[in-house]
Structures are given as C-alpha cells and as structure tokens.
C-alpha cells in the first residue's frame, strides 16, 4: 500500500482545479464577445416585441373603441407576450448590464490574462485596449 501525504493530495486537487479553470478561461476568451452580443441583441429584440405588442393592443382599442381588458380578450397572445417579454427584459437587461460592467472594468478573463503585475485589473479599459480585445 502506498502512503501519500496530505500535502500531495491537496496539491493534486488544486492542480486539477487550476487546469479546469484554465480550460474554462480559454473557452471564454474565444466566445465572450459573441455571448455578449447575443445577450444584448436578445434584450433589444425583447424590447421590440414588448413595444409592438402594446402598439397592437392600442390599435385594437382604437379600432373597437374598447378598454384594455376587452382588447386583451380580443388578442390574448399580445397579453401573454407582454408578460413574457417584460420578465425576459428584466432578466436579460440585468445580465447585459452586468457583463457591460465586467467589460468596462476589465474583469473578464480575456483581459485579466493581459495585465502585468504593476497594473490593477480594476482600472477602466481604454479605447486602445478595447480595439485590441475586439
């Protein structure tokens, strides 16, 4: 039976965690801008659908000279889409703002790998750095 010290086991576990993080970091470096564009464009699409569902209800109200409740009965899909996109806009909007904050403060793994020890990763990104990254 081979006796392995406690320190060796901990070092092995830490090395595995670091290797997994490096793989994840490499994955983020390649796809982060596409992920951010997907999230932000989905937010804009949800805002567009939300606004035009309200426009559709307003047109129904004007056409049939009725109130909002009657217009929702005439077009229940608009009501469901308004509810769904309202929730989606809050979720995606917060996610977009959070990632915009990460990008502007250089806390994305893509930028952290480019910093030297003398610079802080919490400084805001300059336009030159943004051009290099994207």
Considering the domain boundaries, does residue 3 fall inside one? no
Give alpha helix (H) positions in 65-117.
Answer: 68-74, 76-104, 109-112
Domain that holds residue 61: 30-133
- The length of the chain in residues reads 134
Considering the domain boundaries, does residue 112 fall inside one? yes
- From residue 101, give the alpha-carbon distance in Å to each of 38, 41, 72, 107: 16, 17, 38, 8
Q: Do the beta carbons of residue 48 and residue 92 sit within 8 Å?
A: no
Considering the domain boundaries, does residue 19 fall inside one? no
The burial class, CB within 10 Å (0-12 / 13-18 / 19+), for 127 is exposed
Considering the domain boundaries, does residue 47 fall inside one? yes
pTM for the predicted model, two decimal places: 0.60
pLDDT tens string for the chain (134 positions)? 444 444 554 555 555 544 444 444 444 556 778 888 999 999 999 999 999 999 999 999 999 999 999 999 999 999 999 999 999 999 999 999 998 888 888 776 654 455 544 455 445 555 665 555 55
Considering the domain boundaries, does residue 6 fall inside one? no
- For the chain, what is the domain count? 1
């Amino acid at each position: 039976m081979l006796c392995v010290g406690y320190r060796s086991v901990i070092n092995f576990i830490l090395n595995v965690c670091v290797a997994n993080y490096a793989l994840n970091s490499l994955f983020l470096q390649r796809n982060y801008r596409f992920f951010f564009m997907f999230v932000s464009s989905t937010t804009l699409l949800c805002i567009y659908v939300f606004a035009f569902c309200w426009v559709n209800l307003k047109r129904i109200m004007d056409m049939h000279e009725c109130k909002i409740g009657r217009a929702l009965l005439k077009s229940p899909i608009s009501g469901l889409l308004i509810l769904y996109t309202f929730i989606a806009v809050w979720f995606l909007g917060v996610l977009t703002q959070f990632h915009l904050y990460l990008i502007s403060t250089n806390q994305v793994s893509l930028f952290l790998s480019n910093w030297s020890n003398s610079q802080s990763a919490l400084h805001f990104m300059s336009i030159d750095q943004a051009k290099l990254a994207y």
